[in-house]
Amino acid sequence: MKLIILDRDGVINFDSDRFIKNPDEWKPIPGSLEAIASLNQAGHRVVIATNQSGIGRGLFDMAALNAIHDKLYRALAQVGGRIDALFYCPHAADLNCPCRKPRPGMLEEIARRFNTDLTGVPAIGDALRDLEAAVAVGAQPVLVLTGKGRRTQETGGLPEGTLIFKDLAEAAKQVIQTS
């Protein structure tokens, strides 16, 4: 089974320091939906692992999160793509939840649900916490320079072996070519 793990905000859609709180604020990064569709067509199972602390902070509720994801699924379907599973952590950072990235709990749950080892599985994110969670489970950390990606790259301290791409479309091409 070919698996790929994606962060959501800043990788698939534009991010906001004020959080993506409703479907109107969710806007795909150009090329990201087509990149997911190309991964699907190349036989990859695409899984999202996303921190959504806006729920824990009371900025939006589960109905809003579900509506955002419905918009994502519909937009993907229009270009022939799909998400095979979506995992999220609703907790605020101060709760020290084991599933909130950079902790590996969400990725460990993905490994359990898909009954697979994540060693070498591409895990694409735009923040250091995404890469750290990937490393903790042996996945391949991949940084995209969309969202917080440029700032993450400039700050340095990236895990050894991190692959860096301009955006999800470029990363997807490489994943498909090397799988």
Q: In the chain, where are the structural domains located?
A: 2-177
Residues designated as active site: 7, 9
Query: What does the pLDDT profile of the chain (179 residues) look like in tens digits?
Result: 899 999 999 999 999 999 999 999 999 999 999 999 999 999 999 999 999 999 999 999 999 999 999 999 999 999 999 999 999 999 998 898 999 999 999 999 999 999 999 999 999 999 999 999 999 999 999 999 999 999 999 999 999 999 999 999 999 999 999 98
pTM over 0.95: yes
Task: Please identify, in words, the CATH class of the domain defined by 2-177.
Answer: alpha beta
Q: Which long-range contacts (CB under 8 A, 24 or more apart) does 16-21 make?
A: 19/54, 19/57, 19/59, 19/60, 20/54, 20/68, 21/54, 21/59, 21/60, 21/64
